[in-house]
Amino acid sequence: MADEHDRRIPLVYVLGNSHSGSTVLGFYIACDEREFYAGEFKKYYDLPGRICSCSEPLESCPMWSKFAGISHDNFGTNVTMRRKIRAILSLFWGMRFPHSVVEYENEREIIASVFSTAKNRNDQTSVIVDSSKSVWRLMFLESLDFIDLKVIHLERDLKGNMASFLKRGHGFFGSLMKILINDFLIRIYKRKTQTPVIEALYQDLAGDPTTLMNTIAAFVGLPDAGPTELNPNAHELHVPTGNDFTREQFHRSTHVLKRRDEWNQLMRGWQLKILESLSGAKNP
């Protein structure tokens, strides 16, 4: 037990914007049994009542039943706001704030328990993947000495990302500000961090995911390439968070992402012009 407690846990973090394809990326990664996709850790405060991707309520899921009652103390609103403030102060002014012993130990217990539970169910598990995407959670993870951390920055073109926001009922300007601010914070983070980061493009995820998964496997440090075919039913996946429609569709086919020009139907001409001026894309 002492050896397990002292060993650093390999964790891959997906960084990016909301509605950028991170749920599908996580499922693709999980087609390699050595990489366990744990969903978004930042949403673990909201696990009760959720349905796992295996179709079982989390309370009866063989993977997640023991985590269904996770305390709000480590993932609730107050903790989230505190970590966001710390991340901003650290990014812009280099200020560092020690987290409490309780906060550290709670996080350690949860991450280690998820990893050990996944490994007990499949001894090939070597890495866990957190697709929380936010800079503030990533910077908190960097402060934890029990994690061997690597980062995948998932990038999506502005018009496609905005289309995904709009079709879910979000407003144009509010969504645009969220993307622009988050992209700004990510750029600053990437300039300053010493953590290994690899870029993954949405168009590669939609067009040639197998090659991208092999690149990620090499980046993570797995000795061989990933599976030559991305089969969603090769083994049972247990993902407690993410887009419900995507999670359901992935079990039917890995061809979930489509390279469509959705913005042509979802946006008005003046909205497209704003996005084109911001992204530098002259051809819609």
Q: Lowest mean pLDDT of 122-126, 206-210, 273-277, name the range.
A: 206-210
Rounded to an integer, what distance in angstroms lies between the CA atom of residue 116 and that of residue 224? 22
If you average pLDDT over residues 167-196, what whole number do you get? 96
4: pLDDT strictly greater than 60: no
Contact indicator for 131, 26 with CB cutoff of 8 Å: yes
Instruction: Say what the pLDDT of residue 2 is.
Output: 42
74: pLDDT strictly greater than 90: no
If you average pLDDT over residues 56-70, what whole number do you get? 85
Q: Lowest mean pLDDT of 100-114, 124-138, 180-194, 225-239, name the range.
A: 225-239
pLDDT tens sequence across 5-54: 458 999 999 999 999 999 889 988 988 889 999 999 888 767 778 888 88
Report the chain's mean pLDDT, rounded to a whole number: 85
Query: At 81, is the pLDDT very low, low, confident or very high (cuts 50, 70, 90)?
Result: confident
72: pLDDT strictly greater than 80: no
Residues 6+ apart with CB under 8 A from 233: 251
pLDDT tens sequence across 99-146: 788 888 888 989 999 999 999 999 999 999 999 999 999 999 999 999
Query: At 284, is the pLDDT very low, low, confident or very high (cuts 50, 70, 90)?
Result: very low
Of the segments 204-208, 228-232, 255-259, which one has the largest average pLDDT value? Answer: 204-208
Q: Lowest mean pLDDT of 19-23, 50-54, 147-151, 193-197, name the range.
A: 50-54
Instruction: Say what the pLDDT of residue 161 is.
Output: 94
Of the segments 50-54, 70-74, 200-204, 245-249, which one has the largest average pLDDT value? Answer: 200-204
Instruction: Say what the pLDDT of residue 281 is.
Output: 43
Rounded to an integer, what distance in angstroms lies between the CA atom of residue 203 and that of residue 271? 22
| pTM, rounded to two decimals | 0.91
Instruction: Say what the pLDDT of residue 228 is.
Output: 60
